[in-house]
Amino acid sequence: MTKKRVVLISFTDFENPVLSGLLTKMNGQTNAFRELGYETECLYVSGKKVVNDRGDFVKSLSGFSLRNSFFSAIETRLKYSDKAPEMLYIRYPFSTPGFIRFLKAVRTHFPDIKIVLEVPTFPYDREFVLIQKWKLWIDIYYRKNLIKYTDLVVTYGNEQSFEGIQTINLTNGTEIPDLTTDKVEKEEIFTFVAVGNWRFWHGLDRFLYGMSQYLSQSPEENIQLMVIGDGKDLAKYKDISEELRLTRHIRFWGEKTEKDTKKILQKAHVGVGVLGSFRKGLVSHSPLKHRLYAVCGLPFIFSTDDPDFSGKAGFIYQFPPNEEPVSIQEILDFYRKGSFESVEIINYAQQELSWKNRMEKVVMFFVSN
């Protein structure tokens, strides 16, 4: 029996190491469709080239607009491929005239194709600040055309529709690696670890102010924070650390490979999740970093509800979604009173967080509709 074909598309330059977590997500989704029996290809950007998930070169990008060049290259590849795709699964790149033209061309050439847009964050308006606002205005103007060409929108919130298009609500998944369950020795100093492509809604400042309050009251205690990753607001967090005189308690690692990141996580005691999603209007979310902590067997903290963990997992500690500093003492008490076996946390991840389970819901939507 001939396999049906799915093509995943992301106008994202994965040559940028800051986006390594997103690349892991895209590869996880791609592998999930393969596990479900689909012939699958993922297409994205690497520098000024279009490549697929196997690293095969597809086309060079040129011209004034790399975005338009990218979608033009994808359109050509689809039209002249030996096998028509059953489904396009597109990470939403925000609407522009060029993107709408691409969708129209695909629908014209493949009338029966299923077009799925994944909107990672909605509402996303607060992510655009200052000079970036013009991108949002263009998106708002053109996204009303999406309903003509789109069959389904995947969101990670509770929205029932997006610009009149039916949605299904998922949570982020993860690939479950073959991690060793051998006992890993923890750092001698009580160690927190925070991973991210740092932006203001990650709320790491809440943790830094909490550290400052704790150390001012208990200067004899020895704790440390490992910060992994880069991002637009990393410099701000470094400035806060210096202002609060926390630098001897914090190590900023910068970007690390996935392998090295997991080694650091496995030796830490508690992960620091997202503490500021309320700043962009979210009441529920599913950050990739929470899933990374879980697959590494690490208990962690966060604030805004995460449906895969809130009220379900005993290895998380949830703070209110507000601007108050988090209580380090509460976290230490939580950790010391608990019995956190890495293998049990990893088992939870294996049972609850696979990408295969989530992509199957996308497939079943079209089976049942």
Q: What pLDDT digit, counting tens, does each position of 34-68 carry?
A: 999 999 999 999 999 999 999 899 999 987 889 99
Q: Can you list the domains of the chain with their CATH numbers?
A: 5-173+355-368 (3.40.50), 190-352 (3.40.50.2000)
In 3D space, the residue among 170, 196, 154 whose CA is nearest the CA of residue 22 turns out to be: 196
pLDDT in tens, the chain (369 residues): 567 999 999 999 998 888 888 898 999 999 999 999 999 999 999 999 999 999 899 999 987 889 999 999 999 999 998 889 999 999 999 999 999 999 999 999 999 999 999 998 877 777 776 667 888 899 999 999 999 999 999 998 888 899 999 999 999 999 876 655 567 788 899 999 999 999 999 999 999 999 999 999 987 788 999 999 999 999 999 999 999 999 999 999 999 988 899 999 999 999 999 999 999 888 999 999 999 999 999 999 999 999 999 999 999 999 999 999 999 999 999 999 988 889 899 999 999 999 999 999 999 999 887
Check residue 130 and give its pLDDT: 60
- Six-digit token pair at 233? 């607001």
pTM of the model: 0.88
Count of Cβ atoms closer than 10 Å to residue 114 Cβ: 18
Start-end of H helices in the chain: 20-35, 66-79, 97-109, 133-142, 204-217, 234-243, 258-267, 288-295, 328-337, 342-352, 355-368
Q: What pLDDT digit, counting tens, does each position of 316-336 carry?
A: 999 999 999 999 999 999 999
Q: Report the C-alpha gap between 33 and 62 in whole angstroms.
A: 31
